[in-house]
């Protein structure tokens, strides 16, 4: 799948970036992140314009990045401000691109496209990540995945896969009574799934949110924002009860493409029950990691290998009603990609 | 080398396929094999038409394959017969290709091309594989080889390589008195080699078929059928005696291309002497495995790397009289490939 | 970077080649080297023209190479002189290319281009390598590097990188008083760097050539010949003294491209002090190996990955005064490449 530039991409969890150089490749661009003394984030292109060394192999000196190959220094605006050799002349052309960057809800976001369009208000909100009084959190994970971002999107927007991939961890067994729905809210898509009157899935009994003896109803509401930013609200309640009697175990899933074929998979899970119990937190980490790494990843990778670089639509996929949310998202992404391609063509025509 | 579709490819030894999904890639097509309750073989395309998951990651339910990603089920005709989600609607387009398949002489064969031309009588016969009263057999081996199928063909049809690659296992030392011949029988090619009045090669003494003290004559008759199906009749007899006084150690060699650059190498060796002696069987396994894996494979791989994707004929190979059989086979393969290309072009022109 | 043919490439250290087949790939050509009984070197193309087996997998028989696949033999002129099969006929076309080869200053050099232009007098001289009375030598090293030859050239011709990559081994700390200069002598380029009045770099104190208490001046004179043949004269003396009071630790660096993306890095270091002390020799080996393998190699590799196959000039590098020597060398290489391309085009037009 092609890659979007005029969107906010999650670049890192807040705690990943400090006063040392931190590098991450996003949509084929090499990004250098670091914090200045006051804590504000700098996002620069990570390639020295002199001999193309990755700048993150150098070090931060007085809030500036010093290249580790020949010692040129660049400030937080990307300007080369120091050449240690000869008379110290600095060519005007010696500069690196600076990216709009924002820190919000414990995540750091970067904008790779036209800086004039980088509206921080457009960053999807995750207020729960700040609600430490209400929730106990797993770690902030970043899994490097050999997976195309759109295939992870298909996975997350069609929750019916749970019964087949995750019956030992997150999901109920197949052939339950379930309901799936789609909801739109502007450009935002919700994929909804409910199950009724069944033994609770393994993660719920393992975390003590339910017991195997009492049947439960579950709600799963997956919220999608372009390009691949997800919030999954999920919970269980004794069958017939309302959500106010339920326990919730929501997860943030954010997929940031590294390349067309590889992705960074950010996730954090949290719960509003069994608070303060570190054993339950361990179980939560273990089940989620197993589900995403050992159950989703190999299947999605197998799909990617089977597609062998071919376009999704050209492969003429069979469409089921349960694909509706993923199809809506794919159409919106296609539109955004077309807009970027048109702008690039227009820019090229004008120049 | 390009790959043929309108031929029978060996897909598996009979014992490899049971009531669990079994997958093998043949000529770039992903094939799923399994047995129904009565034992008959089903051969389907291994890719789910919904989201392109390999079907073999799922399971067989009542003689049907259930996809492991979202649970669609396909029957032995390739039709989707079950959608577990929503109202269970199954789109008509939800089907996978079904392949002609045959089981014969302990091997399973599939036909990838035009089903109308899949004549089971054209499968090369290996009656010896059923003659358990006459022979003791090695295991049915399948070696996955990083080798193009035509380069293995060159190897097997020019038996003079034995003196250089296999003097420690299967073959006599160089510079013996030998005779090589070529025989044609319709589209079938035989490559023949005899040696005279020499100490027996190591496998013969190690299996007790000959002793180092008595000179032997040997016969080697390699039978080829398109695309790369071989039967090697080989034996030794005391010098001057007839074959009726000899011991035979024949081998089935079948090369099924996986891709243009990799192959499945099926082999089974058997003997008509030292029957019932498990030590001799071990020696037979060990010598054959060493010869194919440790002696042939690295040399053929080195040739393949040296060719670096270039066409055999465009590299203008030096031709020796001993290449006659391989050249005959290559010409017939070229003709078959041309026929398939012409049909494909004709089909494209008509459609 | 494209590869030059009409130049002498270092193929091996003298001691690497004996009476066994020795293979090395140079500028994408597979070269077989061996010595005849009298010690003279034979350089042949390493690919058998029959079935394209690498000849070095065979053996030398009476000064001729015997192919290890089917036994053809080729003499030191590249002619096929023996076919062990059938009536022994040898097709006239059965021959391999023979290369001009020279042994000089403990190195073996080959010429891949037009043999008529292979002037042995043009081989860059390294007389020091024969001066065993004057110097103690490290081993003759050949490091296989996943690095394009021109990027190693950039590294070696801009010695200012030392203060950033090698402060723990070969070089002084940054921000010393230094002078850099460029000198031309015909097609030969010298890149010069001097430092003044500073503590000696680690290798000098570790080898006992200087002590940490006495400040030193250093000279570094890097000599370049096309394509990538270097001699680095380097030494230290107490600050204010002349070179006659100094200790020298010169290094031969020769980069022979294997492919456009990989290189053979030949090096040997030697010293004129602490003669006969094996501990000092060990330190010399250790520091040089660390500097080239653990400090230069990962940085140059990172540059190569960052360039991702793009052309150096098309990436519009920032040019600093300290790049002058590398730029001169790159321009001369560009001229040589253009001459070879023009000749190839002319030859093609004529034929």
How many contacts does B have with C, using Cβ atoms within 8 A? 70
The tens digit of pLDDT for each residue in A58-99 reads 999 999 999 999 999 999 999 999 999 988 989 988 999 999
**Mean pLDDT score across all residues of chain C:** 95
DSSP code string of C177-199: -EEEEEEEETTEEEEEEEEEEEP
Residue C307 has pLDDT above 80, yes or no: yes
- Choose the mutation target among C31, C52, C93 for the interface with B, i.e. most B CBs under 10 Å: C52
Q: Is the dihedral angle over the CA atoms A113, A115, A117, A118 positive or is it negative? A: positive
Q: What's the gap in Å between the CA of A46 and the closest CA on chain C? A: 10
The per-residue pLDDT for C350 is 66
B160: nearest CB among C80, C85, C93: C85
The tens digit of pLDDT for each residue in C205-237 reads 999 999 888 999 999 999 999 999 999 999 999
Note down pLDDT in tens along chain B; length 351 residues: 899 999 999 999 999 999 999 999 999 999 999 999 999 999 999 999 999 999 999 999 999 999 999 999 999 999 999 999 988 989 988 999 999 999 999 999 999 999 999 999 999 999 999 999 999 999 999 999 999 999 999 999 999 999 999 999 999 888 788 888 999 999 999 999 999 999 999 999 999 999 888 999 999 999 999 999 999 999 999 999 999 999 999 999 999 999 999 999 999 999 999 999 999 999 999 999 999 999 999 999 999 999 999 999 999 999 999 999 999 999 999 999 999 999 988 876 666
Which residue does chain A place closest to C175, by CA atoms? Answer: A84
The per-residue pLDDT for B131 is 97
The tens digit of pLDDT for each residue in B71-94 reads 999 999 999 999 999 889 899 889
**What does DSSP assign to residue C7?**
S
- Are C41 and C31 within 8 A, CB to CB? no
The per-residue pLDDT for C201 is 95
Q: Residues C109, C113, C118, CA angle at the centre, nearest 5°? A: 55
Cβ contact A84–C175 (<8 Å)? yes
Tokens of C177: 């008083």
The per-residue pLDDT for B117 is 95
Closest CA to A58 of A88, A37, A84, A87: A84
Cβ contact B85–A178 (<8 Å)? yes
Residue C58 has pLDDT above 80, yes or no: yes
Mention every residue, 6+ apart, whose C-beta is less than 8 A from residue C150.
C1, C228, C312, C330, C333
Q: What is the mean pLDDT of each run of 10 residues along chain A (351 residues)?
A: 95 98 98 97 98 98 98 98 92 95 98 97 97 96 98 97 96 83 94 94 95 92 97 96 95 98 98 96 97 98 98 96 96 96 82 60
Cβ contact B47–A306 (<8 Å)? yes
Contacts of C326 in chain A (CB under 8 A): none
The per-residue pLDDT for B350 is 66
The per-residue pLDDT for C351 is 59
The per-residue pLDDT for C1 is 86
Cβ contact B320–C83 (<8 Å)? yes
Q: What's the gap in Å between the CA of A319 and the closest CA on chain B? A: 7
Q: What's the gap in Å between the CA of C168 and the closest CA on chain A? A: 14
The tens digit of pLDDT for each residue in B266-296 reads 999 999 999 999 999 999 999 999 999 999 9
The per-residue pLDDT for A350 is 66
The per-residue pLDDT for A177 is 80
Please, what are the domains in chain B?
A: 8-122 (2.102.10.10), 127-336 (3.90.380.10)
Residue C153 has pLDDT above 70, yes or no: yes
The tens digit of pLDDT for each residue in A14-64 reads 999 999 999 999 999 999 999 999 999 999 999 999 999 999 999 999 999
- Give the CA-trace dihedral at C274, C278, C284, C289, to 10 degrees: 170
Mention every residue, 6+ apart, whose C-beta is less than 8 A from residue A3.
A27, A28, A149, A257, A259, A260
C174: nearest CB among A84, A89, A93: A84
Contacts of A299 in chain B (CB under 8 A): 53, 57, 68-69
A303: nearest CB among B51, B71, B87: B51
Does a cis peptide bond (omega within 30 degrees of 0) precede residue B227? yes
The per-residue pLDDT for B178 is 86
Which residue does chain B place closest to C89, by CA atoms? Answer: B320
Distance of CA C99 to the CA centre of its chain: 19
Distances in Å between the Cα of C301 and the Cα atoms of A24, A262, C148, C255 are 18, 21, 9, 15
The per-residue pLDDT for B212 is 82
Closest CA to B175 of A56, C84, C263: C84
Whole-model pTM?
0.95
- Are C107 and B203 within 8 A, CB to CB? no
DSSP code string of C61-96: ETTEEEPTTT--EE-TTSBEEE--STT----TT-B-
C164: nearest CB among A71, A83, A87: A71
Using beta carbons and an 8 Å cutoff, which residues of C are at the interface with B?
30, 47, 49-54, 57-58, 67-71, 80, 83-87, 89, 91, 93-94
Distances in Å between the Cα of C9 and the Cα atoms of B212, C186, C230, C255 are 51, 20, 12, 8
Cβ contact A85–C317 (<8 Å)? no
Mention every residue, 6+ apart, whose C-beta is less than 8 A from residue C76.
C36, C42, C44, C63, C64, C98
Cβ contact C91–B319 (<8 Å)? yes
């Amino acid at each position: 799948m092609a890659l979007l530039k005029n969107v906010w991409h999650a670049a890192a969890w807040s705690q990943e970036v400090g006063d040392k150089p931190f590098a991450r490749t996003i949509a084929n661009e090499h990004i250098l992140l670091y914090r200045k003394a006051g804590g504000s984030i700098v996002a620069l292109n990570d390639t020295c314009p002199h001999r193309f060394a990755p700048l993150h192999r150098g070090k931060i000196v007085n809030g500036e990045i010093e290249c580790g190959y020949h010692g040129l220094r660049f400030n937080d605006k990307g300007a080369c401000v120091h050449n240690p050799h000869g008379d110290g002349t600095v060519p005007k052309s010696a500069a690196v691109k600076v990216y709009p960057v924002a820190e919000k809800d414990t995540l750091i976001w970067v904008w790779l496209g036209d800086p004039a369009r980088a509206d921080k208000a457009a960053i999807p909100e995750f207020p729960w990540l700040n609600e430490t009084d209400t929730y106990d959190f797993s770690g902030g994970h970043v899994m490097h995945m050999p997976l195309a971002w759109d295939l992870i999107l298909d996975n997350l927007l069609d929750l019916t896969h749970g019964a087949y991939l995750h019956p030992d961890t997150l999901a109920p067994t197949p052939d339950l009574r379930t309901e799936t729905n789609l909801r739109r809210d502007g450009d935002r898509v919700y994929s909804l799934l409910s199950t009724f009157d069944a033994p609770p899935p393994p993660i719920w009994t393992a975390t003590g949110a339910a017991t195997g003896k009492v049947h439960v109803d579950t709600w799963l509401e997956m919220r999608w924002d372009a390009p691949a930013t997800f919030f999954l609200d999920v919970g269980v309640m004794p069958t017939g009860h309302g959500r106010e009697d339920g326990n919730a175990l929501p997860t943030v899933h954010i997929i940031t493409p590294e390349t067309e074929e590889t992705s960074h998979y950010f996730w954090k899970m949290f719960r509003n029950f069994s608070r303060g119990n570190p054993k339950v937190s361990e179980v939560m980490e273990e089940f989620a990691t197993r589900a995403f790494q050992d159950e989703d990843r190999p299947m999605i990778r197998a799909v990617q290998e089977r597609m062998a670089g071919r376009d999704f639509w050209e492969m003429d996929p069979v469409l089921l009603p349960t694909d509706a949310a993923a199809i809506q998202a794919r159409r919106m992404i296609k539109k955004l990609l077309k807009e970027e391609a048109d702008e690039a063509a227009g820019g090229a025509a004008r120049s």
